[in-house]
Amino acid sequence: MSDWPEFLPGSEDFLFISMLARGIEESEIYLATLRDGRAADPVLLMKNATAARYTPAGGGRILFVRNDNLYAQTLNRTARKLEGEPELVQQHVASSPAFGRAHFSVSRSGVVAWRPGTAGLSQVTIFNRQGKEIGTAGSPTVVQTLKLAPDENRLLIGFNATAWLLEPGRPGQQQLEQGSRETLFSPDGLKFLDAIPRPGKASVLWSTL
């Protein structure tokens, strides 16, 4: 899935982010050229959770948010690659990794507007039947689906083409080799069921840890 395309001034080149990769940290920002209605000659510029924006100011730079900070880095449009090291522009800039979008804008003259904040991540939190918080599971991340194992001791969270297994009281999370936001526990909780879409049909896949 390619999102948030932006044409570079005076050309058919454009930036976009690909969110098909496994996990928000693996999303990829590309530079491509519009040719015959298609994205031609895509070049990977970087991996980043949210899309980048371009400004011709300062010789041509892309701006992007990483770890809640806004950075700028030189883009060599002729060589189609980034140069130098990222430079910090602003701290504490909000973003929505679930949608691949950071909340800032940059003009052609280099003026930047942004919304203060942090990344919109979710923390899986556990409550007892009286509504009292009793713990958490995993680290803050993007969550689209959440499923409880039949033994009620494990959780399965999904985002796009990725799934993780969580255990209450533990900060980490284990990524499944095969999984997506549609992955389910088997009735005995020992296997995982996923439906892989294919042209004209879907294949059912069973997997184990």
CB-CB neighbours of 77 under 10 Å: 15
Greatest mean pLDDT among 79-83, 155-159, 196-200, 203-207:
79-83
Say if residues 144 and 177 touch (Cβ distance below 8 Å): no
pLDDT of residue 201: 56
Residues 156-191 pLDDT 10s: 988 877 888 888 877 777 888 777 888 888 888 888
209 pLDDT exceeds 70?
no
Q: Give the CA count within 13 Å in the CB-facing half-sphere of 94.
A: 8
Can you tell me the distance from the alpha carbon of 52 to that of 117, in angstroms, rounded to the nearest whole number? 18
Of 76-80, 85-89, 198-202, the poorest mean pLDDT is in: 198-202
For residue 179, what are the β-bridge partners?
none
pLDDT of residue 138: 84
pLDDT of residue 68: 96
pLDDT of residue 113: 97
1 pLDDT exceeds 60?
no
Which residue matches tokens 């949608």?
99
**3-state SS string over the chain?**
CEEEEEECCCCCEEEEEECCCCCHHHCEEEEEEEECCEEEEEEEEEECCCCCEEECHHHCEEEEEECCEEEEEEEECCCCEEEEEEEEEEECECEEHHHCEECEEECCCCCEEECECCECCEEEEEECCCCCEEEEEEEEECCCEEEECCCCCCEEEEECCEEEEECECCCCCEECCCCCCCCEECCCCCCEEEEEEECCEEEEEEECC
Kindly report the pTM of this predicted structure: 0.74
- Angle in degrees, CA 60, 114, 89, rounded to 5: 50
Can you tell me the distance from the alpha carbon of 16 to that of 122, in angstroms, rounded to the nearest whole number? 25
- Angle in degrees, CA 105, 67, 88, rounded to 5: 60
For residue 60, what are the β-bridge partners?
none
